[in-house]
Amino acid sequence: MSTFFAILAWLSFLGLAVGLVSPRLVRLSRKKVVLVFLSSAFVFFILYCITAPPEAQTLVTAAPNDATSTPQGEIEQIADNAAPGMTNDTNKYHMENTIVTPDPNGGWDVLVALNGDDNLTQNLTRLGVIQQISNEFIALYTGTSTISKVSVDVSLQLTDKYGNVNTDSVYSAILDKATASKVNWSADPSLLKANILPGVWDTQYDLFSIDSNL
């Protein structure tokens, strides 16, 4: 039916064009040509729009294929959003990888691998690394209640005494749900990142405290 109205609308526009060019062919004045054919075209076009099948009914609905529709995907997205952009010294993203696995006691264990920024001094570099780790803990433990444990590892591009450049882990920390449940997540963000979280998370590895030449 919609096709029929579309044809009538097209014929009305054609009649309008012919009538305006040669009114004698349709035996109407130009004024009547505009009134008759333009109004007809408008009516038929409206009828076409009403009877045309909705686009949603003419297209095959694709099955959802969004990774974030799964619990693991949602967690990965939260972790990724907490580490935007690229490092300031290498052509790498801050987010290297996120692995989400089921915890034997329920919930999810999250392992986040990050690339850090190299700053002017060792202390500034370490502070930047700590802030990156804090950002992940804050995002994950406030973004979902399904986390059981979060491990964050940060790597930097280092040059050894022989001049060889390698990317190595410099700081690794773990925060489990039992400890996270005691944290005041509404505390001042700067205090939370610089003092509270570093004071309660379990530091697995801190190269800054080992190598004073980092």
Please state whether 106 falls in left (phi above 0), alpha (psi between -120 and 50) or beta.
left
Number of alpha carbons in the 13 Å side-chain half-sphere of residue 108: 20
pLDDT at site 5: 56
Q: What is the residue-level pLDDT of the chain in tens, covering all 214 positions?
A: 557 656 766 666 666 566 556 666 656 666 665 566 567 766 666 666 766 665 434 434 444 455 568 999 999 999 999 999 999 888 899 999 999 999 999 999 999 999 999 988 889 999 999 999 999 999 999 999 999 999 999 999 888 788 888 889 999 999 999 999 999 999 999 999 999 999 999 999 999 887 655 5
pLDDT at site 37: 58
pLDDT at site 209: 85
Phi, psi dihedral angles at 82 (to 5 degrees): -80, -5
170's tokens: 């410099």
Stretch (H or E) spanning 56:
helix 55-58
